[in-house]
């Protein structure tokens, strides 16, 4: 036995028991109702939160008006720019605040007195050393010339008193750091506030203040009037005093800014009142900056402020619909996981439909604002063009008519809230959506969606015209025609969008539609052609099994098309080694005769894994992969198990039954349970030498009983009543297929040697 040759296909393919990691993760995500439901509620609430649409085009300064802009109602608008200008002026009118510090004068006079006293003590020292000591007393460097002037005057008290008087006079007048900034307020004055107190006054004479930059010249002039100061010493003493005297009138920038901000905040908002009927802008006029600002304010005011109450109302409606869908699917006769997957899938499709309608609504509102010609400059004319039918088409194709109709009602409610539809538009959206759900019931091909689109176009036109005649006070032929045209376009566009989104949603949700099933049933598809050519016995077994499964599914109300197509592909794994399966052997030695029972069972069981890998390669949808994985469940491979039991010896130990069982999983839906039963019944039917109705029914009952006793249907929702109907359907198909014909005259086909 050569294992590498036997499992050469396994080296190239790494099969997986499950239906694909991505598919399983996707379905597990959709089954998280605790996550999908709240997420749908939150995002839908944000989407349908009420808002008023702006009735005014947003134009920039310099644009040419595409149409007349008329004020629809009396409105008072805030003039933001005028308000800002007024506030800016109010802030600039506030004079700057300067702080007068009287302590500065006393500090300078004290420092000057200390310098003179120190000079008197060290008058006879070397000039440079004297300058150094006096610099330490002053706290800043004194020039040699300045010290020389003081020593020449012998540091006399008379000179000291004269200098102190000059300092006092100058500080009373006020010294500022930047007089140029101060002079800007010469016409209005400045506020002077005494440091450490609440005293302040408006000083109108700003020219009285001395600039610190020219303080030395001012002091020199003052010293010129003193007799005790010689002319030759004035400049040096003026320089000394100028460096000792910091400004005593300082700009308080923080207080100034605070007062200006308070003044600006106290200015009332400037408003512009526009009377109803006023033409704000004529078509063809150039938009001025002022008109552009008014248009922006009009658009903002027409939308209105967001309030928490409408948001709560939208939240309540979205929650109600989410709960409605949850309880609707709870009554579905399918497995719990499948219910949750369908619930999540419907909410995803519903939210997608809302997003599509919102996007188209946004586009048509911009189109209406840009169009000049009546009545196409009115957004209400474009409401019929919205693809109200897209969501119901998708829901009906994916989940059936009942879901499609309920989906249409849910969508109509949410869209009417989202776009603030008037009553007749709500009626139109509901009728168009329900009609779409019914129109897709006979659709079995993707090309048929074109006919659905044409049907919806005609239906929408009829509804739009009827509702226009009912709702318009004085219907005009031009306006009614516009509604009819947009309604026809809406029907066609809805079908086009549904055709685009259908394969995307089939893949995203793992749902398979009848359209896809019919496409997969085409025998000319590469995988089925391979099966018919390379494993003809398996292919014939699949066809016969498909007849059984389809009849049984119809009998219990399951999906017969799904059951049939799954049967076509359930055994594709046998393509890897067709000669190891009895139905494909055309005489000659049986390969299993040279293998141990364990190896034979391994080969037989492996066709499930190989089938899943082929399904992944050929991108077969989720239900077909599920059928491949579950069509044997965890059944025992009886033939090779019995052979192993016959070869059992005490020294090798007892044969474990688990070694000869398929790995599963067990079927979980009605269709998958039918496929497991049909596979077993079809194989057993081929062992009957004479297919009389009694023998057929007995065989079927034995097979079903054995499957039940083995627990293969424990996870499936098939009932005993369903099994009775399935048994009857199987019996009818097998006995019908084994019917007898009358003998051909002149021929005896049962005689040996008759014919070539």
pLDDT at residue 473, rounded to an integer:
67
CB 196 within 8 A of CB 231: no
C-alpha 494/C-alpha 492 separation (Å) is: 5
What are the backbone angles phi and psi of residue 65, rounded to the nearest 5°?
Answer: -65, 125
* Dihedral over Cα of 372, 374, 377, 383: its sign: negative
pLDDT at residue 441, rounded to an integer:
81
What integer is the mean pLDDT of 601-628? 90
Q: What angle do CA 287, 289, 292 make, to 5 degrees?
A: 65
DSSP H or E segment with residue 368: helix 336-370
pLDDT at residue 71, rounded to an integer:
65
C-alpha 354/C-alpha 117 separation (Å) is: 93
Judged against a pLDDT cut of 90, whether residue 674 lies above it is answered with yes
Judged against a pLDDT cut of 60, whether residue 1 lies above it is answered with no
C-alpha 246/C-alpha 717 separation (Å) is: 98
Query: Considering only CA atoms, which of 332, 299, 328 is closest in space to residue 69?
Result: 299
Output 188 or 742, whichever has higher pLDDT: 188
Domains and CATH numbers, the chain: 21-51+311-511 (no CATH), 517-737 (1.10.3210)
DSSP H or E segment with residue 201: strand 200-203
Q: In what order do the strands lie in the sheet with 200-203?
A: 200-203, 190-194, 97-100, 249-251, 175-176, 210-211
Q: What angle do CA 234, 237, 242 make, to 5 degrees?
A: 120
Please write down the HEC assignment for all residues of 319-347.
Answer: HHHHHHHHHHHHCCCCCHHHHHHHHHHHH
* Other beta carbons within 10 Å of 67: 17
Judged against a pLDDT cut of 50, whether residue 40 lies above it is answered with yes
- 3-class DSSP state of 155: coil
Q: Which residues are paired to 190 by β-bridges?
A: 203
DSSP H or E segment with residue 104: helix 103-121
- The torsion region of residue 94 among left (phi > 0), alpha (psi -120 to 50) and beta comes to beta
Length of the chain: 756
pLDDT tens readout for residues 331-361? 877 767 778 888 999 999 999 999 999 999 8
Judged against a pLDDT cut of 70, whether residue 305 lies above it is answered with no
Judged against a pLDDT cut of 50, whether residue 2 lies above it is answered with no
Judged against a pLDDT cut of 80, whether residue 631 lies above it is answered with yes
pLDDT at residue 10, rounded to an integer:
36
What integer is the mean pLDDT of 9-18? 37
pLDDT at residue 276, rounded to an integer:
44
Q: Which residue has the tokens 């044997």?
A: 632
C-alpha 563/C-alpha 671 separation (Å) is: 6
Query: In this structure, are strands 210-211 and 175-176 parallel, antiparallel, or unpaired?
Result: parallel
Judged against a pLDDT cut of 90, whether residue 411 lies above it is answered with yes
pLDDT at residue 350, rounded to an integer:
94
Give the percent of the chain with pLDDT over 90.
23
pLDDT tens readout for residues 81-107? 788 888 888 888 888 888 888 888 888
Q: What's the whole-number average pLDDT of the chain? A: 82
pLDDT at residue 283, rounded to an integer:
73
Judged against a pLDDT cut of 90, whether residue 323 lies above it is answered with yes
C-alpha 491/C-alpha 448 separation (Å) is: 14
The radius of gyration of the chain from alpha carbons, rounded to an integer in Å, stands at 49
Judged against a pLDDT cut of 80, whether residue 412 lies above it is answered with yes
Q: Which residue has the tokens 């979205």?
A: 318
Judged against a pLDDT cut of 50, whether residue 277 lies above it is answered with no
Query: In this structure, are strands 190-194 and 69-70 parallel, antiparallel, or unpaired?
Result: unpaired
Eight-state DSSP code of residue 383: G
The confidence band for 320, taking pLDDT boundaries of 50, 70 and 90, is very high
What are the backbone angles phi and psi of residue 99, rounded to the nearest 5°?
Answer: -105, 125
Q: Which residues are paired to 75 by β-bridges?
A: 274
Judged against a pLDDT cut of 90, whether residue 266 lies above it is answered with no
CB 393 within 8 A of CB 451: no
Give the percent of the chain with pLDDT over 70.
88
* Other beta carbons within 10 Å of 264: 19
Query: Considering only CA atoms, which of 98, 97, 83, 96 is closest in space to residue 265?
Result: 83
What are the backbone angles phi and psi of residue 49, rounded to the nearest 5°?
Answer: -55, 130
- 3-class DSSP state of 17: coil
């Amino acid at each position: 036995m050569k294992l590498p040759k036997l499992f050469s296909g396994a080296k190239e393919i790494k099969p997986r028991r499950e239906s694909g990691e991505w598919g399983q993760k996707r379905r597990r995500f959709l089954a998280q109702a605790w996550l999908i439901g709240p997420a749908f509620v939150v995002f839908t609430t944000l989407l349908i939160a009420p808002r008023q649409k702006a009735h005014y085009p947003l134009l920039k300064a310099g644009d040419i008006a595409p149409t007349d802009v008329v004020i629809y109602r009396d409105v008072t608008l805030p003039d933001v720019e005028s308000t800002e200008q007024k506030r800016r002026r109010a802030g600039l009118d506030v004079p700057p605040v300067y702080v007068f510090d009287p302590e500065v004068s006393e500090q300078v006079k004290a420092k000057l007195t200390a310098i003179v006293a120190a000079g008197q003590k060290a008058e006879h020292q070397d000039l440079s050393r004297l300058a150094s000591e006096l610099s330490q007393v002053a706290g800043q460097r004194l020039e040699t010339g300045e010290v020389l002037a003081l020593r020449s005057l012998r540091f006399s008290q008379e000179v000291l008193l004269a200098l102190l008087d000059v300092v006092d006079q100058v500080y009373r007048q006020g010294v500022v750091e930047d007089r140029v900034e101060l002079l800007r307020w010469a016409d209005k004055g400045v506020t002077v506030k005494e440091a450490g107190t609440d005293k302040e006054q408006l000083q109108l004479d700003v020219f009285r203040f001395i600039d610190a930059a020219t303080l030395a010249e001012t002091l020199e002039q003052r010293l010129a009037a003193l007799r005790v100061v010689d002319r030759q010493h004035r400049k040096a003493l003026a320089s000394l005093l100028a460096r000792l005297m910091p400004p005593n009138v300082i700009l308080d920038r923080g207080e100034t800014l605070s007062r200006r901000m308070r003044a600006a905040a106290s200015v009332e908002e400037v408003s512009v009142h526009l009377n109803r009927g006023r033409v704000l802008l004529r078509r063809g006029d150039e938009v001025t900056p002022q008109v552009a600002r008014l248009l922006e304010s009009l658009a903002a005011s027409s939308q209105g402020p967001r309030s928490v109450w409408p948001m709560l109302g939208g939240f309540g409606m979205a929650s109600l619909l989410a709960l409605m869908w949850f309880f609707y699917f709870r009554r579905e006769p399918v497995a719990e996981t499948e219910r949750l997957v369908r619930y999540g899938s419907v909410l995803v499709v519903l939210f997608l439909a809302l997003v599509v309608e919102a996007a188209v609504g946004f586009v048509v509102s911009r189109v209406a604002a840009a169009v000049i010609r009546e009545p196409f400059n009115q957004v209400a004319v474009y409401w019929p063009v919205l693809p109200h039918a897209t969501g119901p088409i998708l829901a009906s194709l994916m989940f059936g008519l009942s879901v499609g109709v309920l989906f249409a009602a849910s969508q109509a409610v949410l869209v009417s809230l989202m776009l603030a539809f008037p009553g007749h538009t709500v009626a139109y959206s509901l009728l168009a959506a329900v009609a779409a759900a019914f129109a897709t019931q006979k659709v079995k091909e993707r090309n048929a969606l074109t006919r659905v689109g044409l049907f919806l176009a005609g239906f929408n036109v009829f509804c739009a015209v009827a509702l226009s005649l009912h709702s318009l006070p004085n219907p005009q032929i031009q306006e009614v025609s516009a509604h009819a045209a947009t309604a026809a376009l809406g029907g066609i566009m809805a079908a086009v969008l549904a055709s685009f989104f259908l394969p995307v949603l089939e893949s995203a949700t793992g749902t398979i539609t009848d359209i896809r099933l019919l496409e997969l049933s085409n025998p000319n598809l590469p995988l089925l052609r391979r099966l018919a050519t390379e494993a003809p016995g398996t292919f014939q077994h699949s066809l016969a099994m498909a007849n059984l499964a389809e009849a049984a599914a119809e009998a219990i109300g399951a999906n017969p098309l799904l059951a049939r197509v799954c049967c076509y592909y359930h055994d594709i794994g046998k393509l890897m080694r067709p000669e190891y399966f009895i139905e494909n052997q055309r005489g000659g030695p049986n390969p299993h005769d040279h293998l141990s029972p364990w190896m034979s069972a391994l080969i037989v069981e492996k066709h499930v894994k190989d089938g899943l890998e082929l399904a992944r390669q050929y991108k077969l949808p989720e239900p077909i992969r599920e059928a491949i994985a579950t069509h044997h469940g965890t059944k025992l491979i009886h033939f090779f198990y019995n052979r192993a039991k016959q070869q059992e010896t005490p020294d090798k130990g007892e044969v474990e039954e688990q070694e000869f069982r398929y790995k599963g999983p067990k079927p979980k839906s009605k269709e998958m349970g039918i496929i497991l039963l049909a596979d077993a019944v079809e194989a057993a039917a081929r062992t009957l030498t004479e297919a009389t109705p009694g023998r057929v029914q007995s065989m079927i009952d034995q097979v079903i009983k054995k499957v039940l006793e083995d627990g293969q249907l424990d996870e499936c929702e098939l009932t005993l009543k369903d099994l009775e109907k399935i048994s009857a359907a199987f019996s009818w198909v097998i006995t019908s297929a084994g019917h007898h014909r009358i003998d051909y005259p002149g021929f005896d086909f049962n005689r040996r040697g008759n014919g070539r």
